[in-house]
Amino acid sequence: MPWRCRDCRKHFSVRTGTVLAESRLKLHKWLLAVHFYHTARKGMSSVQLAKELGVTQKTAWFLGHRIRAAMTHRDGLLAGTVQADETYIGGKEGNKYESRKRHAGRGTVGKQPVFGLRDAAGKVRAFPLRQVDKRTLHAAIAANVQPGATVHTDTHGGYTGLRGYHHASVAHSLGEYARADGVTTNSIESFWALLKRGYIGTHHWWSMAHCHRYVSEFAHRLNAGPDNTPLTMAKTLDGMVGKRLTYRQLTAAE
């Protein structure tokens, strides 16, 4: 806290009022961590981040979640043609007990539902949901997609009766993935593939209490694009302002 305000008589620094507040980690390591999070397409585990920065795994885990908290942006409503889909995050079916496999149905028991949207420009918006019934899915679309837009989905029952939008669907159960008139959900499903490769291959597991931050990280990185310039990283740094995430808050959520 190198500076002091003469009016309020409080000390402050460039970290004040951001997720960096009270962090003892040097700023160049924060910037290096942001760089890693933008370049690691499938994410970076806290173990690997700890090795790269020369810090403990506990410090890297806390640092990572504060950066993910800054990667949460929702810039207005999506418009044009928007693909909508839901998926489930959790362990592989092959790793489950046989008893759980028999009763898992579509393999969604014990998994976290995640809903995603992707527009024609490739911008992604994704977040966990408590359930994927009609009321919840319709509300999620209404909160994120401009009325009158075209929405492409699969034939999940939760999307039926969608009002205020031009709705079209593809029947995966019949082997239909892209119709001749351009109706498809392939783009949002490619994001699910990337997210799950990160879950299984990089992190191996994450607490569902923090799932929303991991999902935001993957969406933010994809939206930022492949170029890791200072301007690209600036949006993440800008997202740190006005936010605070303490270690106690993180551990209490688990």
Domain boundaries, the chain: 14-71+227-252, 81-203
**pLDDT for the residue numbered 1:** 62
Which pLDDT score is estimated for 21?
87
pLDDT of residue 176: 93
pLDDT of residue 104: 42
pLDDT computed for residue 121 by the predictor: 94
| Residue 100 near residue 143 (C-beta atoms within 8 A) | no
- Give the ranges where 165-245 is alpha helix by DSSP (H): 186-197, 211-224, 230-238
Give me the CATH topology for the region 81-203. Answer: Nucleotidyltransferase; domain 5 (3.30.420)
User: Whole-prediction pTM value?
Assistant: 0.89
Q: CA-CA distance, 237 to 240, in Å (whole number)?
A: 5
Judge contact between 82 and 153, C-beta under 8 A.
no
Q: What is the pLDDT of residue 103?
A: 44
In the prediction, which pLDDT does 93 show?
60
pLDDT by residue for the chain (254 residues), tens digit each?
A: 677 888 888 877 888 889 988 888 999 999 999 999 999 999 999 999 999 999 999 999 999 999 999 998 778 899 999 999 999 998 766 665 565 554 444 567 789 999 999 999 999 999 999 999 999 999 999 999 999 999 999 999 999 999 999 999 999 989 999 999 999 999 999 999 999 999 999 999 999 999 999 999 999 999 988 776 788 888 899 999 999 899 999 998 77
Helix axes 230-238, 27-39, angle to 10 degrees: 110
pLDDT of residue 207: 93
Report the DSSP beta bridge partners of residue 167: 151
What is the structure's pLDDT at 105? 45
DSSP one-letter code for 178: B
